[in-house]
Amino acid sequence: MKIIRHIPLLEEILGDYQKTMGDDYIPYKNHVCRVINFCFQLRPDMDDEQKEKVIIAGCFHDIGIWTDDTLDYLPPSVSAAKAYLHRTGRMACSGEIELMINLHHKLHRYEDKANPLVEVFRRADLVDVSLGMVKFGLSPDIVENIKNMFPNRGFHMRLTQLAAREFYRHPFRPLPFLKW
C-alpha cells in the first residue's frame, strides 16, 4: 500500500486549530499523518468509512494538549471530536472514534471485535511514539519512509517538555493519559 501524503479531511479539521497550536501545528500535523499512514499499513483492507474514522480520530487524539493546555488531554480531545462529529452529522461513528482516542495509550492490547480500529489505532500511535522501535510487523522500510515523508520537527521533544511540566504541576499523577 502506498503512503498517503495529502489528506484533505485532515487539512480541513486541523486547519481550525492552527492558530491555537502555534509552532506545534506542523509537528502535530506530521505526527497525525504518520499515525494515519501506520494505521493504513497495519490494516490495508480498510474501507472508506473506516479510513474516515481513522483520520478523524487521528486529528483529535491529542488535540486537548493545546485546546486545554493539559497533559490530561483525553477528555478534552474526546469532547472536541464529538463536537466535530455532531457539527458535521457524523455522530453514528462517534462510539468507535471516542474509543480510539480514549484508549490510544492503553498499555495492553484492546480486544473487541465490534471496534477493530481501536487496536489498530493504538498500535499505530505506539509505532510513532516509539520512533519506530515498535513496529507491530510493519517493515522497517515502510516505517522509515513514513517517518521521512512526515518529519518529526521536534514533536517528541515537545511531548517530553510537556510531560516535565505536568510532572511539576502534578507530581503524583505525571502521565494521566495512560490506561491499563
pLDDT digits (tens, 9 = 90+) for 110-160: 998 899 999 999 999 999 999 999 999 999 999 999 999 999 988 878 777
- Non-local CB neighbours of 158 within 8 Å, separated by 6+ positions: 24, 27
Grid coordinates given for 57 = 480520530
Please list the ranges in the chain whose pLDDT falls under 50: none
Kindly state whether residue 19 falls inside one of the protein's structural domains: yes
Of 95, 96, 24, give the one whose Cα is nearest residue 62.
24
| Phi/psi of residue 77, nearest 5 degrees | -65, -45
- pLDDT at position 79 is 97
Cα angle 89, 61, 138 (rounded to 5 degrees) comes to 115
Kindly state whether residue 95 falls inside one of the protein's structural domains: yes
Q: What percent of the chain has pLDDT over 90?
A: 77
- pLDDT at position 77 is 97
- pLDDT at position 179 is 62
- pLDDT at position 107 is 81
- pLDDT at position 172 is 63
Angle of helix 48-60 relative to helix 8-15, nearest 10 degrees, comes to: 30
- pLDDT at position 157 is 81
- pLDDT at position 170 is 65
Structurally, the chain folds into a number of domains equal to: 1
Q: Containing domain of residue 113, as a range?
A: 8-169
Kindly state whether residue 69 falls inside one of the protein's structural domains: yes
Kindly state whether residue 36 falls inside one of the protein's structural domains: yes
- pLDDT at position 180 is 58
- pLDDT at position 6 is 95
Of 38, 54, 57, 55, give the one whose Cα is nearest residue 135.
38
pTM: 0.91
CATH of the domain at 83: 1.10.3210
DSSP-derived secondary structure letter, 125: H
